[in-house]
Amino acid sequence: MGNRLFYSCLGVGLSTPNVFPSNILTGVQSVAITSSNSIEYFLSAKNTEVNPSNGSFQATTDVTFDYSQIVTSFEDLSTAIGSNSYGDLYMFTGEDTEAELDPVRYILCRYVLLESISYNISVDSFFEQSKSFKGFSRYICPFGSFPAGIPGEPTDTDPDCILPSVLKREHFNIAGSNLPSIVNSNALQTIQITQSINRTNINEPGTKTPYGSAVNFPIETNITLELISRNLDGNTQPFQTNSCLGNSFATTDMEIVICNSVCENKFNISEAAFTNIVYGGGDVGGGNQTITIEYTSYEPLGINPLIEFPSNATAGCP
């Protein structure tokens, strides 16, 4: 038995249900699994005791699986595993004496759904993606239940586009991107994009397994731009003088492009509404003034309103 678990002896796998992942996800930086039981109890007359054996304790389990990953491309939300269909998530663990992960056991979270996907593009860090999944089951399984051998890494299949393993600020194609005009006159530092899918389980009598998962529309895509202030933002919000008139309000389309025309990867945001702008910093401590500006889009992004839980669902370790 090892003395500890650290990055070299951990790995994350993601697949469609009941399919062992073909590879461990590359570039994963962190992983976290949270299991929580929501306790519901009831008391009855003349009895102050809450007795689990007579069913006066009810627990609903939620399992949240989060991981962050260095990526070189954006992912289409509608085709991502867990967005329009269930997925299985694996956290593999091995011995701390190995230079590479040699799985001994793993945690399997069956039938998870994608709750959010975030991207962070920053001047002083790697291009990173974070995902958060939610499910209601978790199994500890010994490795070897599936065909043996460590899942390999994916290979780059496009000979014309050999990207580095990690992307940094110089790989952001600011000239090819379509961003608000405020970016042109200030120094863009960070772009954060978060797409959230808010879901509610639909339950049915006779089983604790949900009938399905319904999406609470609208799907929110939040974009936050952080800039070092060199000029003002140019955003005017005039005082409303006519009760029939409101402030003119227009949405904007944005396109964020990584790399060049050969290897470019694009993220499109349609109908983004400006929601917030904050000036900060530039105080007597000597730091620079920053502008943080937020947009929100409510496009449905190809997400289906309901995912039915499979009737032939598999439980336990494979």
Of 168, 218, 271, 299, the one binding other proteins (CB under 8 A) is: 168
Of 114, 98, 87, the closest CA to residue 20 belongs to 87
Of 60, 40, 15, 1, the closest CA to residue 201 belongs to 60
Q: Does residue 11 bind other proteins (CB under 8 A)?
A: yes
Q: Closest separation between CB of residue 165 and other proteins, Å?
A: 4
Instruction: Evaluate whether 67 touches 81 at the Cβ level (below 8 Å).
Output: no
Phi and psi, residue 140, nearest 5° = -100, 115
User: Which C-beta is closer to other proteins: that of 30 or that of 235?
Assistant: 30
Q: Which stretch binds other proteins (CB under 8 A): 41-49, 73-81, 282-290, 299-307?
A: 282-290
Distances (CA, A) of 27 to 70, 127, 171, 217, 298: 5, 11, 17, 32, 30
Q: Does residue 121 bind other proteins (CB under 8 A)?
A: yes
**What is the x/- site pattern for other proteins, positions 176-195, by CB under 8 A?**
-----------xxxxx----
Of 136, 172, 274, 295, the one binding other proteins (CB under 8 A) is: 172
Q: Does residue 161 bind other proteins (CB under 8 A)?
A: no
Distances (CA, A) of 13 to 20, 42, 62, 222, 239: 8, 40, 20, 27, 54
User: Which C-beta is closer to other proteins: that of 29 or that of 60?
Assistant: 29
Of 215, 209, 233, the closest CA to residue 291 belongs to 233
User: Which C-beta is closer to other proteins: that of 91 or that of 114?
Assistant: 91
Q: Closest separation between CB of residue 22 and other proteins, Å?
A: 14
Q: Does residue 202 bind other proteins (CB under 8 A)?
A: no
Of 1, 48, 49, 99, the one binding other proteins (CB under 8 A) is: 99
Residue 36 belongs to what H/E stretch?
A: strand 28-41
Of 190, 172, 194, 177, the closest CA to residue 68 belongs to 194
Residue numbers 213-232 binding other proteins by CB under 8 A: 228
Distances (CA, A) of 240 to 103, 198, 208, 248, 249: 64, 35, 53, 10, 13
Binding-site ranges for other proteins (CB under 8 A): 7-8, 10-12, 24-31, 70, 92, 99-101, 121-124, 126, 164-166, 168-170, 172-175, 187-191, 228, 284, 286, 288
